[in-house]
Amino acid sequence: MELSVNEEIVARDATEDDIERTIRGLRSHGDDSFAILTLFENSFIQTVFSDDGFGLEYKKDDDLFGCYDELNDDVVIKAFVYYLNRDERLKTEYTWEPVEY
């Protein structure tokens, strides 16, 4: 899976270490910095960092879901690792709501 920050690829074959380093480093990229882990063109997980904290979304085919819980680095890293490993806990350990786009 490809991992990018602010539309720049940081890893073409992302590992758990790449994810942790990237998510923890979002603060240094400034407000509204984002990271995306892409499985396919229409399947990905993404996060954005702002002064208010993190936002988290994932997309599978035509369905986009958002998690609006209070999120910190560790929670976002765990979600990205679940996605990387195709772990079904991503769908059960987070509260997801459909996003209209």
3-state SS, one letter per residue, for 9-63: EEECCCCHHHHHHHHHHHHHHCCCEEEEEEEECCEEEEEEEECCEEEEEEEECCE
Least confident of 16-20, 29-33, 74-78: 29-33
CB 57 within 8 A of CB 99: yes
Tens digit of pLDDT for each residue in 32-84? 889 999 998 889 999 999 888 899 999 988 899 999 888 999 999 999 999 99
Q: Where are the domains of the chain?
A: 2-98
Q: Which of 35, 43, 46, 37 is nearest to 6 (CA)?
A: 35
pTM of structure: 0.93
Tokens coding 6:
């602010």
CA gap 87, 33 in Å, rounded = 26
